[in-house]
Amino acid sequence: MKTILPGAAIGLLGAGANNRMFAFAAERMGYRVHVHESYEDLASVRAFAAGVDVITVASGDVPAISLQAAAGSCTVRPGAKAFEAIESGIGARRDTSVSPLADLAVVAARGADGAFVYYAPIAIDRAEGALDIARSPAPIDSRMAKRAAGLARDIFEDLDLIGVGCVEFTLTHEYQLVVNEVTPHPHPAGHLTIESSVTDQFEQQLRAVCGLPLGSTDMLRPAAMGVVRPGEGEPDWAAALALPGVKLHLYDGHRGHFTATATSATLAKQIVRTACNALRITL
């Protein structure tokens, strides 16, 4: 297995916030990042792949056929197999017929050598079906956490997923874990790892695809993240940022997320919710 060292060229297919955060992590560690957004033009994908050392994906808008095209000229991680499975419908949607006790996510990484690490499970709150606030550690016991991680590991191995991914679960009232969705790249809920963990999910993705040792997923402090959805008028950024432990990550315009660390995940969630609510005041 070839190790791709700092100074090498990382090819990044697609665009969006995840790709931007991955690029920051890679450049911080001394890699050169080349971004290619015209992934539907397979000839240009092949030419792009010939000029980099490895290709990766940090967002879900890249089709498997583009990864297949790139693989003819360059190592691609994660490979097309994982994206083909997602396109075929594995965990494609949340099962609304299941009565949930909680929604959970396990963000994890698998290396080319089969090494596997996972972050503490993340509890997810939704608004109109979409991620609203995530907090970690989730309020579950260690046995349930290990069970969820074990299921995630099995899925990663079945997909031969090399990189970072996320498995979302519903925890039923019977304490059964039902797989809802599999994401073969860094996940919005995992954004909280930037502040909460020794190694965040984007550096972890880089380590995995480059064949480096996977980083520690130890939690430095409980954390939460909340999706920024400002109301009308100019958001009151100052009020939100006055709250203890709050960090702002904006992608473009007013889209982004807050994170907060605290002595408990519950307190971090309360801080993040207060920060998000502060933005919805119409001035």
Which pLDDT score, from 0 to 100, does residue 93 have? 53
Same domain, 192 and 248: no
What type of residue sits at position 19?
N
Which pLDDT score, from 0 to 100, does residue 98 have? 61
**Residue 169: exposure state from Cβ atoms within 10 A (0-12, 13-18, ≥19):** buried
Count how many Cα atoms sit within 13 Å of the Cα of residue 94 in the half-sphere of its side chain.
18
216 assigned to some structural domain: no
272 assigned to some structural domain: yes
121 assigned to some structural domain: yes
Which pLDDT score, from 0 to 100, does residue 104 have? 97
Q: Which residue among 210, 244, 262 closes a domain?
A: 210
Which pLDDT score, from 0 to 100, does residue 283 have? 34
CB contact at 8 A, 113 and 86: no
52 assigned to some structural domain: yes
Domain tally, the chain:
3
Provide the percentage of residues in the chain whose pLDDT is more than 70: 93
CATH of the domain at 197: 3.30.470.20
How confident is the model over 114-139, as pLDDT tens digits? 999 999 999 999 998 899 999 999 99
CA angle 266, 93, 171 (to 5 degrees): 40
Which pLDDT score, from 0 to 100, does residue 80 have? 93
56 assigned to some structural domain: yes
Domain that holds residue 244: 223-278
How confident is the model over 71-83, as pLDDT tens digits? 999 999 999 999 9
Which pLDDT score, from 0 to 100, does residue 252 have? 77
218 assigned to some structural domain: no
pLDDT < 70 stretches in the chain:
1, 89-99, 230-232, 280-283
92 assigned to some structural domain: no
CB contact at 8 A, 59 and 35: no
Q: Distance between CA 255 and CA 58 in Å, rounded?
A: 18
Same domain, 36 and 118: no
143 assigned to some structural domain: yes
